[in-house]
Structure 1
Amino acid sequence: MGRFGEDVAAAYLEEDAMTVLERNWRCREGELDIVAMDGDAVVFVEVKTRRGDAFGSPAEAVTVAKARRLRRLAARWLSEQSWSVDEVRLDVVGVVVTDDTAYVEHFVGVL
């Protein structure tokens, strides 16, 4: 389910003129779901997928602790790059999957 949601999110971002640089980037401290470019901004995207919204929207699953960890992972990813970045953004993409449809909510710069 999580992989499907990430596939949906990556396709959505690319349709929105973003360029996906990496998916499932891992280091010792954790994982970044998607790293993308949106114009001159590097965007770190956390993807949350659910089979429905009975327990709230997928984006509500991103806790304060998770947001802190994403910031640390983003800093680590940036430190490993050989180019400089002018703008950095942390987004959340929520994917709700029903029987035959995936609904996407993109929250820009929320973390």
Structure 2
Amino acid sequence: MNATGALGRYGEELAARELTAAGMTVLARNWRCGRTGEIDIVARDSDVRGADVLVVCEVKTRRTGAFEHPMAAVTPAKADRLRRLAACWLERHGGPPPGGVRIDLVGVVLPARGGPVVEHARGVA
């Protein structure tokens, strides 16, 4: 694995821990749907009524000083791809849960000093 791949895997591990700490259940990591692409993390959360929500989570990891902040990574094209991936997951796993589907982003910034900074944005697309 190259350095970029290792950085991404590390960020995904931190993101999975963050989601789990927030009370979510990770259902899959790096789930692929043919040529459509890959979902970094698929999780289950609950909405305000307690109904299950499927969470499709994109993870972006950057070192401090990288070109763009990871939270700026979900472009309209990326959001469309994530929606297509969510539809593929639902087709293969029996349809949407009662609480529907949400697309989240976890941004991980690795500073030169100190611990990583993990930000979780819900419902980005």
Tell me whether the two structures share a fold, i.e. TM-score over 0.5: yes
Match of 1:98 in 2: 111
Q: What SS does structure 1 have at the residue aligned with 2:38?
A: strand
Which residue matches 2:97? 85
Report SS of the residue matched to 2:40: strand
In 2, distance between residues paired with 1:4 and 1:36? 18
Structure 2 Cα separation of the partners of residues 41 and 53 of structure 1: 35
1:35 aligned residue = 42
Displacement after TM superposition at 1:83 (Å):
5.7
Alignment of 1:13-24 (within 5 A): 13-24=19-30
Cα offset, 1:55, TM superposition: 2.5
Q: Which runs of 5+ in 2 are unaligned?
A: 1-6, 47-51
1:47 aligns with 2:59: yes
Kindly indicate whether residue 78 of structure 2 is the aligned counterpart of residue 66 of structure 1: yes
CA deviations 1:63-101 (Å, max 9, x no partner) are 111110000000000110136412110000000012441
Q: Among the aligned pairs, what percent are the same residue?
A: 55
Match of 1:3 among 5, 9, 22: 9
Once the two structures are superposed, what CA deviation does each residue of 1:1-27 show, in whole Å capped at 9, x if it has no partner? 000000000001001110000000012
**Runs of 4+ with >4 A deviation:** none
CA RMSD of aligned residues (A): 1.3
Amino acid in structure 1 at the alignment position of 2:118: V
| One-letter amino acid of the structure 2 residue matched with residue 98 of structure 1 | P
For 1:18-70, what per-residue CA distance to the aligned partner results, in whole angstroms no more than 9, with x for missing partners? 00000000121100000001121110000000001553320212211111000
In structure 1, stretches of 5+ residues that fail to align are none
TM-score normalized with structure 1 length = 0.93
Say if 1:53 and 1:96, in contact at 8 Å, map to a contact too: no
Q: 1:84 to 1:70 in 2, by over 3 A?
A: closer
Alpha-carbon distance in structure 2 between the residues aligned to 1:85 and 1:6: 24
Superposition TM-score, scaled by structure 2 size: 0.83
